[in-house]
Structure 1
Amino acid sequence: DEFTAIFPVTSCMFIALFNSNLDTTMETLLKAPAARALLRREWLNGLYSTEAYFTAVMVANTVLAALNTLALVLPLYLLVGFSTSLERAAVFFGALAIMTVIGMCNGIAIGCASSDMDEARKMLMPIIAPQMIFSGYVLPYNDLPVYFKPFYYLSFWQYGLGILQLNEFSEHEYSRGCPNVTVEDACYEGALALLGHQAQQHNFTLNLTQADAAFGFPFNGTCSGKRSLEVTGLWPPKFGGIGGYFLILGAYALVFMLAAYVALKVSLRKAARG
């Protein structure tokens, strides 16, 4: 219920994205060198088609990556105290599932296109670094110069993080640490201090509470998580809200899946010619 806890909670969301996407990419990359020689030999012997292998790898890796992500993120979800609503939990883990698929496809594509881990690392960083920088966590949208904002919209990380933030904060009401309450507290404390000083000068006892110092004005002790979303440029929501974000993130997953398939196909054809 503490408004100032929004940033630490957002940090936990970023960690969840990091695990579901980048960790999955690295795990897939680490498996690539060991599987490459066996794959080429069996494929050249006609044991299976490219499509069958790709489908099997996608299914197997998705299950393993999902279990790995769940093992890390579920305790984080419970410890941080994210929404206990079943619908919001489904949105949270649904976004991470798509990010996991993107990470896995990215790992397959880079693993097929690179000859070793050093080359894979060189190919990975130019892809991942801009995604993280323009995710909206390091540099909020409203703080970006105009000429960098197109990169923000190209980052699939910002769509994943945007889903998590909109899902968690848009309907949440906070009762402590709200900006308006902090200002009101400062005003009331100043009023009490001034009245107390006047009382000392005129030698009479002053016994006022903060509510008395409000002089009858209403005291709003809550604030909405939408305030933080406005600061980061996520409110009012773009692209039709969470549903639109999911569609865009899903489109990214399809693009990366196609890239992984093409990279695998090209790699096997090179092996056949070589």
Structure 2
Amino acid sequence: MPTIHAFPVEAKVVLHEHLNKWYSLSVYCAAKIIVDLPIQLLCATVFLFPAWYLTSQPWEIHRMGLAWLICALVTILAQTFGFVVGASCGMKLGLFVIPAANIPMLMFSEFFIPYHEMPVYLRPFALISYFRYAFDAFLETVYGLGRGRLPCYEVYCMFKNPVHYLEHLGLARDLKADFTALVLWILLLQIALVIILHVRVYRACR
């Protein structure tokens, strides 16, 4: 939510400096994202490693590295999405647009309904949900990649083999596609941000 306030608060200063040819809007957008990048990566780290320890996940470098990368991509995506909404809608409207836009994405993330159980006419919505790709990639990272059997002390454990759990969820299990989708979302949002800022500058100059 704080990212919604970033552009509206700085709008007058940015407009003044841009019209004075101090910097381009593309440079401004890139600078905003790069300056906040250490905080975003810190947030991903602070979230992931305590949760990883508390849920007794295996301490394997490649598995933890991929999980951290997924969290980092999601935080960057969320930040860029906040910038786009703040630049296009302003602070007041943005507070309502963010939840309204994210709830459908969350509904089609496969967390509630597996993709293969969705009606055919709803599946296209799942294909554009960034939560779906993050959820899919994270579960594949945690339970896939050749992970051994899970510890079980009951008489019968249905999901002792993690592969069975992933098959039960019906996930795509394609890490490359998931990472590609998340990166594409970030790039599309950054392009949208630059376009929106150019439109606002054009309107301010009329």
TM-score range, shorter chain: 0.7 to 0.9
Counterpart-to-counterpart distance in 1, 2:170 and 2:177: 16
Q: 1:225 aligns with which of 145, 157, 162?
A: 162
Query: Following TM superposition, by how much is the alpha carbon of 1:182 offset from its aligned partner in structure 2, in angstroms?
Result: 5.2
Residue number in structure 2 paired with 1:128:
102
CA offsets, 1:43-92, max 9 Å, x none?
Answer: 23332221221221121122222223322333222222233111011110
> What secondary structure, in the 3-state scheme, does the structure 2 residue paired with 1:234 have?
coil
Q: 1:68 to 1:174 in 2, by over 3 A?
A: closer
Mapped to 1, the partners of 2:153 and 2:6 lie a distance apart of: 47
Residues 221-259 of structure 1, C-alpha deviation per residue, up to 9 Å, x if partnerless?
x83111111121116x3xxx2122212222222111211
Question: Do residues 174 (structure 1) and 150 (structure 2) align?
Answer: yes
SS of 2:156 mapped into structure 1: helix
* Corresponding residue to 1:259 among 179, 188, 192: 192
Q: How far did 1:165 drift?
A: 0.3
Assess if the C-alpha contact under 8 Å between 1:65 and 1:100 holds in 2.
Answer: yes
1:128 deviates by 0.9
2:73 counterpart of 1:98: yes
CA separation of 1:262 and 1:157: change in aligned 2, threshold 3 A: same
Separation of aligned partners in 2, 1:234 and 1:34:
42
Matched, 1:52 2:20: no
Q: Secondary structure in 2 aligned to 1:181?
A: coil
Match of 2:171 in 1: 234
For residues 168 and 109 of structure 1, what CA distance do their matches in structure 2 show? 31
Cα distance in 1 for partners of 2:58, 2:115 equals 25
Residues 158-189 of structure 1 show CA distances to partners (whole Å, capped at 9, x for unaligned) of 111101101111224123167x8258xxxxxx
Within 5 Å, give how 1:68-217 maps onto structure 2. 68-115=43-90, 117-170=91-144, 171-176=147-152, 181=156
RMSD: 2.2
Q: Partners of 1:182 and 1:124 in 2: how far apart? A: 40
Q: Note if contact 1:44-1:272 (Cα within 8 Å) is conserved in structure 2.
A: no
- In structure 2, give the amino acid aligned to 1:89: M
The answer on whether the counterparts of 1:166 and 1:229 sit within 8 Å (CA) in structure 2 is yes
Q: Give CA-to-partner distance per residue, 1:147-168, whole Å, 9 cap, x none.
A: 2222112211111110110111
Contact 1:173 1:223 in 2 (8 A): yes
CA, structure 1 residues 53+135, in 2 after alignment: closer, same or farther (shift >3 Å)? Answer: same
TM-score (norm 2): 0.87
Aligned residues: 204
> Which runs of structure 1 show a deviation greater than 4 angstroms over 4 or more consecutive aligned residues?
none
Any gaps of 5 or more consecutive residues in structure 2? none
Report which of the two structures shows the higher radius of gyration computed on alpha carbons.
1
5+ residue gaps, structure 1, are 1-25, 184-221
8 Å contact kept, 2:48–2:71: no
